[in-house]
């Protein structure tokens, strides 16, 4: 089990304040966490592929397809794949 002084040092380093009557609870909780980490470290993971997420993530965005909409008749022209519209800002 983790020592009481270690709990106090962890609390100090993490800038957490702890009431004296809760030190025993944290001591027990930290010990359980460290025990579990020890169990995980003992597992053989050499055949497990590395991953960045626990579930497979696919691109869920739709294809970028140009759409026609009602305002298309307000467009003056098209140049090099860009829409040319009326200038609305003044030059300074």
pLDDT tens for 27-64 read: 999 999 999 999 999 999 889 888 887 787 777 787 88
d(CA 56, CA 45): 19
Name which residue leads in pLDDT, 83 or 16. 16
SS3 content of the chain, % helix, strand, coil (to 5): 40, 5, 55
Q: CB of 76 within 8 A of CB of 84?
A: yes
Domain assignment present for 72: no
Q: How many domains does the chain have?
A: 1
For residue 35, what are the domain limits?
Answer: 4-41
Domain assignment present for 19: yes
Domain assignment present for 21: yes
Domain assignment present for 70: no
């Amino acid at each position: 089990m983790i020592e009481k002084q270690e709990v106090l040092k962890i609390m100090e380093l993490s800038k957490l304040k702890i009431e004296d009557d809760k030190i025993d609870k944290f001591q027990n909780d930290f010990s359980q966490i460290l025990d579990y980490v020890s169990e995980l470290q003992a597992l053989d993971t050499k055949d497990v592929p590395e991953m960045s997420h626990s579930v497979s993530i696919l691109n869920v965005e739709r294809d970028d397809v140009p759409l026609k909409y009602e305002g298309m008749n307000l467009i003056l022209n098209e140049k090099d794949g860009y829409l040319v519209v009326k200038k609305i800002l003044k030059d300074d």
